[in-house]
Amino acid sequence: MEFTGVTLWMALGFIFAAYSVIGNDSIQTLGTFLASNKERFKWYTLWAAASAAMVFTLLYGWYFYNGDIAYERLTQIPFQEVQWYHAMAPMVLLLLTRIGIPVSTTFLVLSAFASTVVLEKMLVKSMVGYGVAAFAAYGIWILLERWIDEKADKLKPENIRYWRIAQWLTSGWLFFAWLQHDMANIAVFLPRQLTFGDLVIVMIVTVMLLGYIFYREGGKIQSVVLDKQGTRYVRSATIINVVYVCILYFFKELNNLPMSTTWVFVGLLAGRELAISQIMPNYKFEYVFPIIAKDFGKMMLGLGVSVAIVLLIHYWIVPNGLYPITIQFGKG
């Protein structure tokens, strides 16, 4: 049996983290894909396409990074024995996901393992990511919206097929780039080098959870995407994919420190909405600002919970030795 030495808290933490990360953060990459295709394709067709990208990404990382499916995002967070308070973080994330709050899984999950110094570096990188995404999206859509109006300038029937193919390809590319960042939020509960048997178990669990998310059409968190102008249109969805994936690759190559892709995604949508409000006469700032402010407020809520978890662990739980009895499923 693989995963030797697995404890109860490691197993629970991994399962809760996998569901929460896929349910919360995958909407960043698959939300527009789901919104613009759910009326044309069955949910299981979309699930199969996303699952293929998921399996490819896990295999690629495992093979080329010496068994590390986190793509070396966890080099500054060494593996440690998972305790109950580590598993508590994805449980909180699961609760927030269920009520539709798009919080940062990176902060909520990794904060339980990271030192305050690493958390500070992650916060700075994520804030820069939010700003870069917002400014880049604003500049790009200021130009694009002068030529593209999804309602007034609809795609010609003969061109829809090509845009749909482009959207599927860019969605797979984006999902791959996103997983290279956020798989660390799941892999943090596992040994840094997995055997092939371990990898198979991870693939089965994540693919099944991904299927549940597609069956529920994204869940409540999908409203973050549907509230935005034009995200249901295949052309707009494709452009969002390309811009987002370029930003993710930039920060991936910058350094191997984890960052919040949620903040980057929300920043991208904020910049895009502001640009559209400047161009479209019937889409004013008075309507856009509450949407942006609501998303930003939810981000701050997630950050506050993350900071509270860090303070609780480092200044109360660990100093007072509040550890339970460790239960193992296998022999190390």
User: Any idea what DSSP says for residue 80?
Assistant: -
Model confidence at 200: pLDDT above 90: yes
Cβ(27)–Cβ(105) below 8 Å: no
Q: Which helix (H) or strand (E) holds 187?
A: helix 184-187
Rg (CA), the chain: 20
pLDDT attached to residue 52: 94
Domain-embedded: residue 114:
yes
Overall number of domains in the chain:
1
Domain-embedded: residue 159:
yes
| In the chain, % of residues over pLDDT 90 | 26
pLDDT attached to residue 231: 46
Mean pLDDT of the chain: 81
Model confidence at 317: pLDDT above 60: yes
User: Any idea what DSSP says for residue 156?
Assistant: P
Domain-embedded: residue 325:
no
pLDDT attached to residue 208: 93
Domain-embedded: residue 175:
yes
Model confidence at 222: pLDDT above 50: no
Domain-embedded: residue 61:
yes
Cα-based distances in Å from 283 to 11, 221, 255: 48, 23, 38
Domain-embedded: residue 330:
no
Q: pTM for the full model?
A: 0.82
Domain-embedded: residue 2:
no
DSSP string, 299-317: HHHHHHHHHHHHHHIIIII
Model confidence at 321: pLDDT above 80: no
Q: Which domain holds residue 239?
A: 8-317
